[in-house]
Amino acid sequence: MRTIKGYLDEWRVQEYLLLTFFISWLSWGILILLTAFKVAEFTSPIGIILFSIGGFGPTISAIMCLEGKITFKKVINFIFDHKKKTFHYFLLFAILEIMCIGLSSLEVNPAIPWFSLPAVLLVCTFIGGGNEELGWRGTLQPVMERIMSKKLKSRSLSFILATLLVGLIWALWHLPLWFVAGSGQQGMNFGQFALTAVLLSFWLACVYRRTHSVFYCMLLHGLANLAMSFFIVKINWALILGYTFMAALAIILARNSTPAQKDERN
C-alpha cells in the first residue's frame, strides 16, 4: 500500500499505524503463542525470525507509505538526506545521552567488551532499534506535527503534543514483547520503559526537526541502545534529572525550527 499524494494527514497516520501494528503485532502474537505453548523458544531460529520481522514493522511500513513509485534511490534519499550544517545537533544529544547513562550508572556490563562497541553500534543502528526511525521520526512525527499545528496554531505546543503522542504510541507498540516467554522485556517495568520512550522521543524529534535526517535519528537511537547495554542501567536521580533536562532542551531547541516534510518528497 502506498500513500497517495493529496491524502489528508489523518489518513496518512492511519495508513502507517495500521501497517506497522499489523506487521509487528501479528509476528509477535504468533511468537507469544509459540513460546507460551513451548512449541518454540524465543532464542530459536523461528523465534528470532518472528521477533525480527516484528521489529522491522515500522521500517517496512515507512517504505510502503512513501509517495509514488518506491525505488532504491528514493529510500536511500529518505534515509540519508539532511539539512547542511546540522550535525552538531546530533552530536550534542549523542554526548549528553552517553554522559547521562554512563554517569548515572558508573558500572559497565562485563558481557560487552569495549572492543565490540563499533560492531554493536552498527547492529543497534541498522537492526536493533535504529531502523525503526524511518517510521517513528521519519514518517509519523512530521505528520503528527502538521495535524497538531492545524488544531493548536502554536508551533511549540504542536511539537510537544505530537512528540508525546508519538512516544506513547512507540511505547505501546512494544507491549506484546512483555508477553513473550524468554524475552528481555519481561525483566523490565513497562511503566518505566514507557516513560523512557517518551523522553527519548523528545531528543529524537528535536534532532529530526533540526536536521531533517532520518539517519541521525537512527544513529542516536542506536547509541542509546548501545549505552543502555554497555552500562548497567540504574534508575536514580542522576538518570531522571538527565533525561528530563535533555527533554526540556529538546523542546527549547525545536521551538524556532521548521518541521521536516520528507513524506512529501518524490
State the Cα–Cα distance between residues 211 and 92, nearest whole angstrom.
12
Residue 45 reports pLDDT greater than 60: yes
Straight-line distance from the first to the last Cα atom of the chain, in angstroms, rounded to the nearest whole number:
16
Domain assignments of the chain as residue spans, ordered by start: 83-264
Report the distance separating Cα 12 and Cα 143, nearest Å.
8
Looking from the CA of 192 toward its CB, the CA atoms found within 13 Å total 11
- For residue 220, the model assigns a pLDDT of 98
Tell which phi-psi region holds residue 207, choosing left (phi > 0), alpha (psi between -120 and 50) or beta: alpha
Q: Determine the Cα angle at 10 with ends 9 and 11, to 5°.
A: 90
Share of the chain above pLDDT 90, in %: 86
**Predicted pLDDT at 9:** 85
Q: Give dist(CA 131, CA 138) in Å, integer.
A: 11
Residues 20-42: what's their mean pLDDT? 97
Lowest-confidence range among 35-39, 101-105, 140-144, 259-263? 259-263
Check: CB of residue 176 under 8 Å from CB of residue 25.
Answer: yes
pLDDT digits over 167-189, tens only?
999 999 999 999 999 999 998 99
Q: What is the pLDDT of residue 150?
A: 87
Q: Residue range 197-203: average pLDDT?
A: 97
pLDDT, position 7: 54
pLDDT at 1: 40
Model confidence at 207: pLDDT above 70: yes
Average the pLDDT over 73-78 and give the result.
Answer: 97
The whole-number average pLDDT for the span 38-49 is 96
| Residue of 126, 129, 121 lying closest to 54 (CA atoms) | 129
Three-state SS string over the chain comes to CCCCCCCCHHHHHHHHHHHHHHHHHHHHHHHHHHHHCCCCCCCCHHHHHHHHHHHCHHHHHHHHCCCCCCCHHHHHHHHHCCCCCCHHHHHHHHHHHHHHHHHHHCCECCCCCHHHHHHHHHHHHHCCCHHHHHHHHHHHHHHHHHHHHHHHCCHHHHHHHHHHHHHHHHHHHCHHHHHCCCCHHHHCCHHHHHHHHHHHHHHHHHHHHHHCCHHHHHHHHHHHHHHHHHECCCCCHHHHHHHHHHHHHHHHHHCCCCCCCHHHCC
Asked whether the predicted pLDDT for residue 6 surpasses 90, the reply is no
Q: What is the pLDDT of residue 262?
A: 53
Can you say whether the dihedral through the CA atoms of 56, 79, 144, 195 is positive or negative?
positive
Q: Which pLDDT score is estimated for 190?
A: 96
Mean pLDDT, residues 106-111 taken together? 96
In this predicted structure, the answer to whether residue 3 has a pLDDT above a threshold of 50 is no
Q: What is the per-residue burial (b if ≥16 Cβ within 10 Å, else e) of 84-114?
A: eebeebbebbbebbbebbeebbeeeeeeeee
Q: pLDDT of 225-257, one tens digit each?
A: 999 999 999 999 999 999 999 999 999 999 877
93-116 mean pLDDT: 96
Record the cell numbers describing residue 38, joined without a space: 513451548
